[in-house]
Amino acid sequence: MHSTIATSIGAIAISAGLVISGVGVTEAAWPERPIKVIVPYSPGGSPDQLTRKFSAVIADNSLLSEPVNVVNVEGHFSVGATEAKNAKPDGYTFLFLHAALMSAEVVNPDSGVSWRNYDPVAKTSNFGLTIVTHADSPWKTLPELMEATAVEGHDIKFGVNLGAINHLTYIDLMDAWPGSDFKLVQAGGGGKQYPLLKGGQLEAGIMTSQDILTFQDPDIHVLGYSGPDRLAALPDIPTFRETGIEAGITYDYWWFAPVGTPPEAIESFAAALENAIQTDDMQEWLTAKGLTDDFLKGAELQADLEASWEKIVPIANKAKSALNK
């Protein structure tokens, strides 16, 4: 765990909105007013919670001289993503999003969204997904659920958000268990699947680890986690690979800016995010929510985005093919 905030002269100058000029210190142009971060999802969801936590930590530790305000844009995430893309590139509008930005480019190219339509700012964390059933389900392990598909086939109702990241995890899982298949139900993300699982309309589904830790409902039984290692907050939940299934992918949370945003604004905001993630408060919150600290910026971030794209494209193409059947 990190216990201190970076204190180099450069970081302090950037975070405080100051630059060193000659022998004196002068006020920089950024930030001069509040900063807006667009979260293209409803309030209360996993992306919204994380963005608001960063905003609070930045404020509590005076990492920027102006507040970071979170703006939720509801509807399909492409609506908010497009709003951010078309915003004035003045350093006061940013976008917070995950791999949906990449999968949608493949699955639904008409949506007009692409990760290349933005200037990358930072990657701050990583998350995995879980396979869940109702606690009364006859399938107590992930292999039991997968094996049941060979017998019952499409009779098992499995919730996904078609074309979205939980659909990609579903496809990754199916590829690892030849002959498996479910009756897919368009059920949205974890927050929308939760009442359907509780009410019996779904027999299995996919939720983020953050969903599981938020609901903490004994009626929801978690069969496996897609990450490479067990989570400290969910120590009893095995990874897919621990159950004998060679599958499992995780997804990153990214911050973007409209193309043409001043480099000093991008660098300053990235510095504030990096300092925020190093605080004990942020580290403890990430662990409690089942998220992994994974910070990148600059050239390393660009290379990581390109590697993520190469990983997501083949799975997203399978999702697209499934939608077109």
C-alpha 167/C-alpha 79 separation (Å) is: 20
- Which tokens in the block code for residue 264? 């000093």
Please identify, among 231, 249, 267, the residue that sits at the C-terminal boundary of a domain: 249
Instruction: Please give the residue that has the higher pLDDT: either 45 or 13.
Output: 45
Give residue 203's identity as a one-letter amino acid code.
Answer: E
Q: Is 116 a member of any domain? A: yes
Q: Is 320 a member of any domain? A: no
At 171, phi and psi to the nearest 5? -65, -40
Same-domain status, 198 and 301: no
- Number of separate domains in the chain: 2
Average of per-residue pLDDT across 18-25: 41
Please identify, among 249, 282, 300, the residue that sits at the C-terminal boundary of a domain: 249
Neighbours of 87 (CB within 10 A): 17
Residue 25 contacts residue 9 (beta carbons within 8 Å): no
Residue 188 contacts residue 42 (beta carbons within 8 Å): no
pLDDT digits (tens, 9 = 90+) for 189-233: 888 999 999 999 999 999 999 899 989 999 999 999 999 999 999
Per the DSSP assignment, residues forming a β-bridge with 130 are 207, 225
Q: Is 4 a member of any domain? A: no
262 by DSSP, 3-state: which?
Answer: coil
Write the CATH number for 307. 3.40.190.150
Mean pLDDT of the chain: 89
Same-domain status, 157 and 177: yes
pLDDT digits (tens, 9 = 90+) for 233-253: 999 999 999 999 999 999 999
Same-domain status, 39 and 177: no
Residue 301 contacts residue 269 (beta carbons within 8 Å): no
Give residue 178's identity as a one-letter amino acid code.
Answer: P
Half-sphere exposure of 88 (CA within 13 A, CB side): 4
Same-domain status, 235 and 283: no
In this predicted structure, the answer to whether residue 5 has a pLDDT above a threshold of 60 is no
Look at the alpha carbons of 286, 290, 291, 293 in this order and tell me if their dihedral is positive or negative.
positive
Same-domain status, 120 and 258: yes
Q: Give the global pTM.
A: 0.86
Q: Among the listed ranges 74-78, 229-233, 256-260, which one has the minimum average pLDDT value?
A: 74-78
Same-domain status, 152 and 109: no
Q: How many helices (H) and strands (E) does the chain have?
A: 11, 13
Give residue 15's Cα distance to chain centre.
Answer: 25
Average of per-residue pLDDT across 128-139: 96
Q: Is 321 a member of any domain? A: no
Q: Is 319 a member of any domain? A: no
Same-domain status, 275 and 134: no
Same-domain status, 104 and 143: no
Give residue 199's identity as a one-letter amino acid code.
Answer: G
Q: Is 325 a member of any domain? A: no
Please identify, among 214, 231, 249, the residue that sits at the C-terminal boundary of a domain: 249
Give residue 301's identity as a one-letter amino acid code.
Answer: L
Please name which of 323, 319, 290 lies closest in space to residue 173, comparing C-alpha atoms. Answer: 319
Same-domain status, 29 and 135: no
pLDDT digits (tens, 9 = 90+) for 159-172: 999 889 999 999 99
Same-domain status, 24 and 118: yes
pLDDT digits (tens, 9 = 90+) for 259-293: 999 999 999 999 999 999 999 999 999 999 999 99
How confident is the model at residue 154, as a pLDDT?
Answer: 60
Write the CATH number for 231. 3.40.190.10
Same-domain status, 119 and 194: no
Instruction: Give helix 77-86 / helix 100-107 axis angle, nearest 10°.
Output: 100
Average of per-residue pLDDT across 81-88: 97
64 by DSSP, 3-state: which?
Answer: coil
| Residue-number span of the structural domain to which 172 is assigned | 129-249
C-alpha 77/C-alpha 301 separation (Å) is: 22
